[in-house]
Structure 1
Amino acid sequence: MEDLSIIILFLFVLFVLLGSGVWVGLALMGVAWVGMELFTTRPVGDVMMTVLWRASSSWTLTALPLFIWMGEILFRTRLSEDMFRGLAPWMARLPGGLMHTNIAGCTVFAAVSGSSAATLTTVGKMSIPELRKRNYPERMIIGTLAGAATLGLMIPPSLTLIVYGVTINESISKLFFAGVLPGLVLALMFAGYVAVMSRLSRDWNPDAEPRQGFAAKLANSRFLIPVFALIGVVIGSMYLGYATATEAAALGVIGALVLAAIQGSLSWQTFTELLMGATRTSAMIALILAGAAFLSMAMGFTGLPRGLADLIGSFELSRFELLMVLLVFYIILGMFLDGISSVVLTMAVVEPMVREAGIDLIWFGIFVVVVVEMAQITPPIGFNLFVLQGMTQHEMGYIARAAFPMFLIMVVMVFVLILFPELATWLPDNLRPGPGG
């Protein structure tokens, strides 16, 4: 009963603060402060200073601003245009035609971005005008882009996986390994949906693409060399054990700057804009992480996580039943919070339950990311929906309906992960991360 009163108070204070427009990180700190003042005798100021410093000075966390910076650099280069020119000839003859460039483009860019929003904006700016010009169905253009852009959260380097790893003190490199195969499987499921709809949809009547010979396709493929080279440097250095996630991120930034310089899109002004954009995003996420660390500590002092874990344990749920409860929980939470906030806000309570159930924490990280991906395309706070609304000027309801089939595919992906856990565990178990990774 006491646990329930604490939960109600925490939720009440949190929603009051968030509803009044307070930043998420500060709202989390406010909830933690109130909880410690009311339910513990600890000196709140001392605890807060210690926890905020420890959360902000984590060496693992340095990978986050570096990957964000790399995404900012690539976002402002001609990489997306070149990517479309390289991918389009190979996609044209597939069932679904150039609609696959949305999925393939997001998959490729996710491997150098780490951010769903950056992936969506970059690939969307490239593909939406081209696909509209070729008379592809508008709803499919928007739906596939909304869904495929969420691969930025799964395929390494993933900002959400970095945050998850920092929150539960797990290897970032292992989490990156774990995200590769599920990310590719999800991309294939999206592509399968496009292929099926191209045969079933009455609205599917795109303009025919001019045929190109094999030599012409190979010639256009040269535009893919820069992005694949960068992927090879960033991901390959980790997989081969030469670099930690942080060191790979630094290599990625250097590679992205070199690409921008070669393309002639790097000036002192753009360099300053890149740096400030990455700094703003990194500071926002760092504040959320610091606030969540303080809230986790406050909840630990109140005994709430252990109490809730014991309560759920008393229900004697099987692993599958627990995962179904968490699936519904995160879908509902994702309607109101972004993915990173959902992860850091809940891990203090969820982690003990998951450990108690004997669920692999690396596998569970991928499970959480898939469910958090759904939050990007569920109203009313689906961030990808807002980005697409700004890009296409459609009503939110139209965009949400277009994205709904992709949401259902992600639900199926959750069950695929449960049935075949090796999708997420095989690479981490068989590849050696870099030292300290």
Structure 2
Amino acid sequence: MDLDLIIGIGGLVLLLVLLALRVPIAFSLGIVSLGGVAVLRGGLPAISALETLTFNFIAHWSLSAVPMFLLMGNIAYKSGLTQSLYRAARMWLSGLPGGLAIASTAACAMFAAASGSSVATASAMGRIAIPEMMKYKYDPGLATGTVAAAGTLGSLIPPSILIILFAIFTEASIGQMLIAGILPGILSGLVFAAMIMIRCKINPKLAPKVEGGVTLTEKIQVLREVWPLPVLIVGVLGGIYSGFFTPTEAGAGGAFLAFIIAATQKRLNWTVFKESVIETCSATAMIFLIAMGGIMLTRFMAVSGVPAALSSALGPYGLDPVILVIAASVIYIFLGMFLDSLGLMLLTLPVLLPLFEASGADIIWFGILVIKYLEIGLITPPVGLNVYIIKGVVGDSIPLETIFKGVLWFIVADIFTLTLLIIFPQISLYLPSLMQF
């Protein structure tokens, strides 16, 4: 075996060891990548690659969409624009079997479309929806599992930060990637809702019927309280879809629109603004550090020849998109049990992306599948970041194993959705094909 290839494989093994030792993902990626390039090409070329590659990546104008969308979500959340979401969903959907769980799913989807973050969605909605479901004697596993799983919709429903980073990393169209997430995101939510209804119809004890009807007048009245969020979402997605502004401009426009809406509703003050900016800066720094490590790993993999060797080893079947999708499914679902979403994406793309490009597979379709894999990883044991977010919300009142048992049904639903996305690529590709440029 070629020495360069041995060093490349050894680097990947060392990276996994560092991650298992809980070394931060950004530092793990940076240490292995920089050290690997230094061993293969020398110290000066490694330093030069660190300077040029990371600067060129971070200086990419499209990346300015990341802090702008984060700021939009933080302003919407901190100013209370999302507070009435769950109440509206509960009033309209509580009559269905498992209605409060379905309402939680719908509210999570709406919140995700404003925040772009799965963790933020699970954390915020967990504090609102879980106590309400527990109040009506819902099964603890169903209540916590619903919010943990529905929170993952923030990875897929635009404006998703993961989708933006995937598009920049792969040089795909950010606008098309964002729009491509709409139908798969809606499909994921509908499959969750259908699964909840079926389970609660078969076993009503999971979700006792909520007593006390709500009048049509009350239902219409509550919709008047949630108009800011739909306006914000439609403004951002409509502008991207119509070509009125670029995705980068949409981030700035969304943040400005959230600012204006919060101000007109007298919900914006100095504290809200300061906390929103601080959290945006902190999240942006973390994301950019990991992205810098990921771009260095790409160079290390290219220099070592691991992607080329893997493609050659797979032989004629290696360029079959179906074989690649099956292989990617196994890799992502397995590693998703141990790694966070952003780190997992930037760890695997340097190896898998060249294979998918060589096979002729549509990169936008591949990107949506990757994001769906990452969603599943957010709730699979033993790591399951969203599960631990929910555990932090409920404290000692609900055991961790109960939450993990609760999300198992949602993992099955996610795998069903993923199968549909693989068999019918047009679910992901239809809306991007209609976009105006």
Give the TM-score, by structure 1 length: 0.94
Deviation per residue, 1:315-366 (Å, 9 max, x gap): 5564222211110100111112111111111111111111122210000000
- Work out the CA distance in 2 between the residues paired with 1:313 and 1:330: 22
CA-CA distance at 1:94 after TM superposition: 2.2
| Counterpart residue identity of residue 409, structure 2 | P
- Give the equivalent residue in structure 2 for 1:102: 104
SS in 2 for 1:43: helix
- Work out the CA distance in 2 between the residues paired with 1:338 and 1:57: 25
- Give the equivalent residue in structure 2 for 1:194: 196
Sort the Cα spacing of 1:316 and 1:26 in 2 relative to 1 into closer, same or farther, 3 A: closer
Aligned pairs, number = 433
Sort the Cα spacing of 1:48 and 1:180 in 2 relative to 1 into closer, same or farther, 3 A: same
The answer to whether the 8 Å contact 1:86/1:222 transfers is: no
Of 18-27 and 123-132, more deviation after overlay is shown by: 18-27
CA-CA distance at 1:13 after TM superposition: 2.6
The answer to whether the 8 Å contact 2:79/2:272 transfers is: no
- Give the equivalent residue in structure 1 for 2:23: 22
The answer to whether the 8 Å contact 2:121/2:154 transfers is: yes
Quick one: which of 201, 223, 234 aligns to 1:221? 223
1:38 and 2:39 are equivalent in the alignment: yes
- Give the equivalent residue in structure 2 for 1:405: 409
Of 254-263 and 214-223, more deviation after overlay is shown by: 254-263
The answer to whether the 8 Å contact 1:68/1:113 transfers is: yes
| Counterpart residue identity of residue 13, structure 1 | L
SS in 2 for 1:224: coil
CA-CA distance at 1:217 after TM superposition: 1.4
| Counterpart residue identity of residue 354, structure 2 | P
- Work out the CA distance in 2 between the residues paired with 1:16 and 1:349: 18
Quick one: which of 352, 361, 382 aligns to 2:354? 352
- Give the equivalent residue in structure 2 for 1:414: 418
CA-CA distance at 1:426 after TM superposition: 0.7
- Give the equivalent residue in structure 2 for 1:12: 13
| Counterpart residue identity of residue 14, structure 1 | L
The answer to whether the 8 Å contact 1:178/1:424 transfers is: yes
Give the TM-score, by structure 2 length: 0.94
1:336 and 2:338 are equivalent in the alignment: yes
- Work out the CA distance in 2 between the residues paired with 1:273 and 1:137: 35
- Work out the CA distance in 1 between the residues paired with 2:22 and 2:152: 26
SS in 2 for 1:210: coil
- Work out the CA distance in 1 between the residues paired with 2:209 and 2:382: 35
- Give the equivalent residue in structure 2 for 1:292: 294
CA-CA distance at 1:22 after TM superposition: 3.4
- Work out the CA distance in 1 between the residues paired with 2:333 and 2:428: 21
SS in 2 for 1:223: coil
The answer to whether the 8 Å contact 1:128/1:141 transfers is: yes
- Work out the CA distance in 2 between the residues paired with 1:260 and 1:239: 25
Identity of aligned residues (%): 34
Deviation per residue, 1:219-262 (Å, 9 max, x gap): 12111211111111111111111111111111111122233334
| Counterpart residue identity of residue 208, structure 1 | V
Of 172-181 and 36-45, more deviation after overlay is shown by: 36-45
For structure 2, which runs of at least 5 residues remain unmatched after alignment? none
- Work out the CA distance in 2 between the residues paired with 1:12 and 1:81: 45
Quick one: which of 298, 303, 314 aligns to 1:301? 303
| Counterpart residue identity of residue 159, structure 1 | I
1:56 and 2:58 are equivalent in the alignment: yes
Sort the Cα spacing of 1:96 and 1:284 in 2 relative to 1 into closer, same or farther, 3 A: same
- Give the equivalent residue in structure 1 for 2:77: 75
| Counterpart residue identity of residue 405, structure 1 | W
Sort the Cα spacing of 1:316 and 1:72 in 2 relative to 1 into closer, same or farther, 3 A: closer
The answer to whether the 8 Å contact 2:137/2:207 transfers is: yes
Calculate the aligned-residue CA RMSD, in Å: 1.8
The answer to whether the 8 Å contact 2:86/2:104 transfers is: no
- Work out the CA distance in 2 between the residues paired with 1:126 and 1:249: 27
